[in-house]
Structure 1
Amino acid sequence: MSEETTRAAETASADRPRRVVIVDDHAIFRAGLRAELEGRVEVLGEAHDVESAIAVVREQRPEVVLLDVHLPGGSGGGGAEVALACRDLLEEVRVLAISVSDQAEDVVSVIRAGARGYVTKTISADDLIAAVATVSAGDAVFSPRLAGFVLDAFGTAAAAGVRDEELDLLSAREVEVMRLIARGHTYREIASDLFLSIKTVETHVSNVLRKLQLSSRHELTRWAEQRRIV
């Protein structure tokens, strides 16, 4: 193949609509996003919860998953749980988180799970198309305010010698519970804050202690403080 032909093929590939899957628990948002992006991306499918998202991503193998962070279903891990469940596909399937949340813990949890970018739902259609192209090419993209969260989190971890795989053992919900435990919240307070039952909170805490090989709330608090994720 000649150099000119190769360049032409690369240009055609870059200009073609990207194949995406839209994951969000609000049907109105999915419909609105599809309408905004019509003709500019190829929507292969949609999903509204953790289970359906994992299924459609594994079936359709899109180039980019537009993934909401807060999703019902699964074990309560939301978008991060979807990304983790599809981690074996992340060489070919890129994840771009899109959420109303601009909270540091949401950003960091889904990036640790494998997402290549994170933007808020205030993004314009043009900027979202550009973000899809950027992530599809293997690069990272963040809304300006959110990039600092990622740099702070991963910079701190690197400086402290923290192994990423330790946090990777935890689901997004387990990280939320762990952080609240480390802040001194009671099980009842955590259950109220996260809209969970006390029994579910107890189960999450037991799972966190087991996965991190810790034996008490005191050790868990010290573990979190050492990593500055309280």
Structure 2
Amino acid sequence: MTGPRVFLVDDHAMVRAGVRSELGDDVQVVGEAADVAGAVAGIRATAPDVVLLDVHLPDGGGRAVLETLRAELPATRWLALSVSDAAEDVIAVIRAGARGYVTKTISGPDLRDAVRRVAEGDVVFSPRLAGFVLDAFAASSAPAAPAEDPAVDPGLDLLSAREREVMQLLARGYTYREIGGRLFISVKTVESHASNVLRKLQLSNRNELTRWAATNRLL
């Protein structure tokens, strides 16, 4: 079986079964757990590529799992999968070290794409969550001065109007499929625009693009 090795953490057996079914053969599910203690033991034993982590668990929540193991397993990536879209839940788990946060309304194909992207080192958010997460981090890291807005990176002038549209949607966490649907273009065309955007801005991946867009206030 190919694809990332994934460990599922959720306190509802039916949810875990549903997630496992949606992931299909695109990943290798190496274990699952329903609580903090079981998750810590199972993740230690399997050292997965990605942990799909529910935020609300008995005995401390998903954040407790992440904080216990993050330093111990630096190669493991963490993707929160939760019914909650509350700002405090999202920000807390991202600050603890998760590489992304998606809600349980996500489709099967988009969940598989999110797991793959996180395994590759990208960051992933459900589109409506990305904005306030980035706002929270920008506010906490903003310098005390000066009052003026920072100058926009001159690389923006290299982008065509369509590339700017694709750039903003990518930075906000939309998948290629979702961008194609919104802009009425093919996924292949989106991929071409995305490649051009990264090349022109001299960025390596979507993670860097998201940070670049946030710094230049383009989200």
* TM-score normalised per structure 1: 0.60
Instruction: Write the distance in 2 (CA, Å) between the matches of 1:52 and 1:91.
Output: 19
SS, match of residue 17 in structure 1: coil
Check conservation: 2:47, 2:73, Cα contact below 8 A: no
Instruction: Write the distance in 2 (CA, Å) between the matches of 1:160 and 1:59.
Output: 42
- The residue number in structure 1 matching 2:108 is 125
Q: Which runs of 5+ in 2 are unaligned?
A: 145-219
- The residue number in structure 2 matching 1:111 is 94
- The residue number in structure 1 matching 2:23 is 37
> For residues 113 and 35 of structure 1, do their structure 2 counterparts lie closer, same or farther at Cα, with a shift above 3 Å needed?
same
Instruction: Write the distance in 2 (CA, Å) between the matches of 1:137 and 1:113.
Output: 19
Instruction: Write the distance in 2 (CA, Å) between the matches of 1:156 and 1:141.
Output: 20
SS, match of residue 92 in structure 1: coil
- Residues 44-73 of structure 1: per-residue CA shift (max 9 Å, x gap): 000001111111111100000000000002
Check conservation: 1:21, 1:65, Cα contact below 8 A: yes
Residue 108 of structure 2 aligns with an amino acid whose one-letter code is: A
Alignment: residue pair count: 144
Say which of 62, 67, 76 aligns to 2:48: 62
The 5 A counterparts of 1:187-226 are: none
What fraction of aligned residue pairs are identical, expressed as a percent?
60
Q: Which runs of 5+ in 1 are unaligned?
A: 1-14, 162-230
* TM-score normalised per structure 2: 0.63
Check conservation: 1:119, 1:143, Cα contact below 8 A: yes
- The residue number in structure 2 matching 1:17 is 3
Check conservation: 1:134, 1:140, Cα contact below 8 A: yes
- The residue number in structure 1 matching 2:154 is none
Residue 68 of structure 2 aligns with an amino acid whose one-letter code is: A
Shift of 1:160: 5.9
- The residue number in structure 1 matching 2:126 is 143
Instruction: Write the distance in 2 (CA, Å) between the matches of 1:42 and 1:53.
Output: 17
Shift of 1:89: 3.9
- The residue number in structure 1 matching 2:33 is 47
Check conservation: 1:90, 1:114, Cα contact below 8 A: no
Instruction: Write the distance in 1 (CA, Å) between the matches of 2:6 and 2:41.
Output: 14
Instruction: Write the distance in 2 (CA, Å) between the matches of 1:71 and 1:43.
Output: 20
- Comparing 143-152 with 107-116, which one deviates more in the overlay? 143-152
* RMSD value, Cα: 1.5
Check conservation: 1:107, 1:149, Cα contact below 8 A: no
- Residues 57-97 of structure 1: per-residue CA shift (max 9 Å, x gap): 11100000000000002xx3x11111111111453100000
- The residue number in structure 2 matching 1:185 is none
